[in-house]
Structure 1
Amino acid sequence: MKRILFVSCLAMLCAFQASAQAVENKLSTSNQEWLDRDWPVTDTLVFDFPNESKLVLYFNNTEFNVEELTEEFEPLLRKATNFPEFTTIAYRLGENFPSTGLKHVKYQLEKKYIPYIDSLEMTFPVGLDYTGGDFTPVVGFRALVNWRNFSLGGSITNTVYFPERIENNVKVNSNWFANAEFAWEFGNLERSRRNIFGVGYLINENKSQLFSGTTMQAYYNRKLSKNISIQVGVISTENFKTFYPTVGIRFW
């Protein structure tokens, strides 16, 4: 990108009216009239690409300003190497409609013009669950293959159970689950998947005092920040006769 041009004048308002049909995210007739009436176009921001193409943004200055839009779009457009040559592409911005919202427009640009490389993500989550009336530390290993909006993979986790002392001795129970996981983050530019759904099967060779018979778990994990998430789920044991709700926290 060689330069950024910003124009705010009557001439550009006329130009917008003439080119409104060309915007990529044009609304239905009624919504378009509502947007143009209550949040009319007052300003235009143009990004010029080295391949003689342009990205044009039309917006109202009560919702956006050129500085914040430049800060939002410049890092994104530096990676837009699939932007077509000798082409002008325009978007209308307006936060009161989903298809014209800032987040949606950025997502559309990323999806269409930024090449995406599949990646392998490996983490070692640790945490603490409240399982059937007991606190159970959890440690594990997770591997996910990332695509643009979702990930597939699995994890091995150990739910550690500390039974009551017998003659002042504690026998720690390890409960190893093999889990299949699906992670997603639709409609968001962040690479980090904030949602994970998993289903697991207890693969213990040694008998556990917490679980017996066929034991499976299902859970939903929601990331709160880069390194912290909460997890809720249910564990069925004793051949699906007993169910333990679980809730806990994870650190990555």
Structure 2
Amino acid sequence: MKRYLLVSCLALLCSIQARAQEIENKPFGNNLDKLNEDFPVTDTLAFDFPNDSRLLLLFNNTEYELSDLEQKFTGVLKETTDFPEFKTLVYRLSEDYPQTKTDAVILDLERKYLPYIDQLELNAVIGMDFTGGEFTPIVGGRMMFNFRKFDIGASFTNKVYFPERIEGNIKVNSNWFANLEYRWDRSDPKSNTANMFGVGILVNESKSQLFTGTTVQAFYKRKVNKNISIQVGVIATENFKTFYPTVGIRFW
């Protein structure tokens, strides 16, 4: 059971403590010294854990109310249970720098210490692109290895092209790409699906009516909501002599 206590002490003693411990979220350059001059450490909020680890939050009592900090961090620490044994983690709190803001500290704790199991993800790729003046439906499959801070994997996608009808007959031209993909999200501790970067190469066995010669693509995908993503990219074809910009939508 997590428990907390407030250690009130002289600013000088707290400053010594801050220097003695490695600050997990130390601001860049000499900003920590500047922060300690402007808002010296006056208080420490400590959380002790059953595995003999400890979390120390160093702050100035003119910036924060103790009750607010207790409420914020007690709720978070009920879920972030993967703290290393026999280790003391020290964070500096202040709203003056991005790394020391309470929301940034909470996000860092969640990304590092929420219980997590690496997973294998399999799903379908469905969407529509606008490629070189043509609308091309996209179908395929994806395999991703999900890790705590990023996902990495591959997909096999078909950029479907419908040539002009000849004598009223509809023909379908498939353009299969093998892709390597990297996915990340620094703002969500539980998912890495917000951003994706990928590169791929055309691996058609049959002749493509859209591309000729060596053809590769690079793309970036950004998740808009739970079910829809926007993807932009570029395709190099004719042995890198011709380039087509692409923009499209992906579902799920």
- Report TM bin, short chain: 0.7 to 0.9
Cα shift at 1:135? 1.6
Write out the 4+ residue segments of structure 1 that deviate beyond 6 Å after TM superposition: none
Q: How does 1:92-171 map to 2 (within 5 A)?
A: 92-102=92-102, 105-106=105-106, 109=109, 116-171=116-171
Instruction: Please report the RMSD computed on the Cα atoms of aligned residues, expressed in angstroms.
Output: 3.4
How far apart, in 2, do the equivalents of 1:18 and 1:241 lie? 63
Q: Which ranges of structure 1 fall in alignment gaps of 5 or more residues? A: none
CA-to-aligned-CA distance 1:52-74 (integer Å, 9 cap, x gap): 54312123467655446644564
Cα shift at 1:185? 4.2
CA distance 1:28–1:233, change in 2 (3 Å):
closer
CA distance 1:161–1:62, change in 2 (3 Å):
farther
Does the 8 A contact of 2:80 with 2:109 survive in 1?
A: no
User: What is the match of residue 251 of structure 1?
Assistant: 251
CA-to-aligned-CA distance 1:189-229 (integer Å, 9 cap, x gap): 34314332222122222333222333221222233344332
Cα shift at 1:131? 0.4
Does the 8 A contact of 1:151 with 1:184 survive in 2?
A: yes
User: What is the match of residue 4 of structure 2?
Assistant: 4
CA-to-aligned-CA distance 1:7-57 (integer Å, 9 cap, x gap): 38x647565234222343255894234213434446543323123543121
Q: Secondary structure at the match of 1:35?
A: helix
Alignment-mate amino acid for residue 241 of structure 2: K
Alignment-mate amino acid for residue 17 of structure 2: S
CA distance 1:227–1:49, change in 2 (3 Å):
same
How far apart, in 1, do the equivalents of 2:228 and 2:207 lie? 32
How far apart, in 2, do the equivalents of 1:240 and 1:28 lie? 42
Does the 8 A contact of 1:118 with 1:146 survive in 2?
A: yes
Does the 8 A contact of 2:155 with 2:178 survive in 1?
A: yes
Alignment-mate amino acid for residue 154 of structure 2: G
CA-to-aligned-CA distance 1:77-131 (integer Å, 9 cap, x gap): 644334323x543321124335434465446546765665432122223222110
Does 63-72 or 211-220 show the bigger shift?
A: 63-72
Cα shift at 1:168? 3.2
User: What is the match of residue 202 of structure 1?
Assistant: 202
Alignment-mate amino acid for residue 150 of structure 1: F
CA distance 1:160–1:98, change in 2 (3 Å):
same
How far apart, in 1, do the equivalents of 2:11 and 2:211 lie? 69
The alignment status of 1:178 with 2:178, answered yes or no, reads yes
User: What is the match of residue 35 of structure 2?
Assistant: 35
User: What is the match of residue 229 of structure 2?
Assistant: 229
Cα shift at 1:244? 1.1
User: What is the match of residue 24 of structure 1?
Assistant: 22
How far apart, in 2, do the equivalents of 1:29 and 1:132 lie? 47
Does 95-104 or 235-244 show the bigger shift?
A: 95-104
User: What is the match of residue 80 of structure 1?
Assistant: 81
TM value normalised by structure 1: 0.78
Q: Secondary structure at the match of 2:31?
A: helix
TM value normalised by structure 2: 0.78
Alignment-mate amino acid for residue 146 of structure 1: N
How far apart, in 2, do the equivalents of 1:191 and 1:76 lie? 19
Cα shift at 1:233? 1.4
How far apart, in 2, do the equivalents of 1:232 and 1:73 lie? 42
Q: Secondary structure at the match of 1:136?
A: strand
Does the 8 A contact of 1:80 with 1:110 survive in 2?
A: no
> What number of residue pairs does the alignment pair up?
249
Alignment-mate amino acid for residue 38 of structure 1: D
State the identity %: 54
